[in-house]
Structure 1
Amino acid sequence: FEIEILKTFPVLVTLWHPSVQCGNPGTPSNGRVYRLDGTTFSHSVIYSCLDGYLLSGSTTRQCQANGTWSGTAPNCTCKSPPPISNGLLEGRDFEWGTSVSYSCSPGYELSFPAILTCVGNGTWSGEVPQCLREYCTTLLILIKLTTSFLYHKGTLVLFARKRKHTSDFVKVLIFFLLVLFRFYFIS
């Protein structure tokens, strides 16, 4: 930029940066420095991750005049674990060596307890579970007949003995129970 001396002689001033050192920018776990052209002011570093890992943070960082590297230090993390139907993933940290688990929505249960761990090649160790419908087993003894039925958890089961005539009171009671069930369990 220009500075006028006594408003008659233009003078060109060049800004000079002393040899600012930013130091070693570091290498992320499961990653590498792709290119480093120096650790002094205006030099840059470019990062990449090993196969199977995703880079989060800054891919390129530059040594700044204040002696720090621009951006944020990168991380190389596992890809997201697979989702499961009617289930939730417990855990959000996908760095090497961390673990996650699964839980199921109400009315479902895990096929087996599962903990997955982010391993050396960016994948997850362990088997992915399933969320299966929960069932209740009911044993019925009706008119000297023993039988077993499976019902989904939360299912309302009504049994009535067959008669020639059903009283109005029983009809109203059954209607009331059905309305109550629909309001309470479905709402």
Structure 2
Amino acid sequence: MFPTNPSLCFLNFKPLLLELLVQPLYLFFPGSDCPPPEPLANGRVLGNVFKLDHQVHFLCSPGFQLMGPETRVCLDSQNWSGAQPSCKSSSSSSSHCPTSISTHVRASRCIEFLDSTHCTCEQGYSISSHNSTLCTDIDECELFRRTRPGRLCLHTCVNTAGSFHCECPAGYSLGRDSRSCHDIDECARATHNCSSEQVCVNTYGGHRCVEVDCPRIRNATYIKTSPLRCDRNPCIQGDNACFQAPVSINFHFMSVVSNMSTPTVLFRLSAARILGDTLRFGLLGNRGVQHFSVQRSGRLTGQLVLVNAVQGPATLELDIEMSEMERRVLLGRYVTKVTLFVSPYNF
């Protein structure tokens, strides 16, 4: 039964009528269109049907990358699904930031262009063969391992994430090119540990502290006239054993690299003057003699030649004798004692 009072009836239904009037229009028109999508700066919208469940597609102009959904759907609420996309310059943005996944794996930078995806990596990385969205570290040390030694690093190559660096053995410093190694001269820098009685000899990768003592030879006595030279005292008249002993003994220390190319002239020696008519040069039997040869290079000069390569590390000793003759009679002998320090490296 409806109320008989018309005013009462109106008052009872007025709240319901007001509630219906403020509801969205789609309750009355469920098949209405969505509003046209917003224009896409630096791109365009594909599709011109804006009815329920219909889609529109977004495409950026060349050189720009789509940020956001590629497709939006017209919903029952007469709104488009998702957020409004935008187009950003591909030169300043990428779909993957170069964040590090691990020290040797990073995310690649990928750009979508003309329905294809192009991924790149920062320097020192390459696209993974298993996943184009990942970049793996390039091991430069392994890459150049089979090439000519010294091309990448003179000594040791250490691979790092995205790069590499070179290291030198103890006693060497890295060159300005960050690849070569240079010997540190401890003797010149006064960083050695030699005593005042010792002679500091710089070697490749280190140094030696040597003591120079005059030899003891029967019937002959010697006095040190310089740090590297001993001279014989005058002999008693008629003492042939003393006269047969060297007039002077010089000490010569050299440092060479391993596997030096041969033949190589190591040094020359000469007589300041000659009293006799003949000057002879020869090697005395010591360790390492098989690696050397003494050759005359002038009337008063001879030279020590390395004829066989030496693999270091090694220490070789030999004596070079220079004899002064007069009508095949010995006037005097002069000995140079050579010590060769061979580095374990070829640099």
Q: TM-score, normalised by structure 2?
A: 0.22
Which of the pair has more CA radius of gyration?
A: 2
Q: TM-score, normalised by structure 1?
A: 0.34
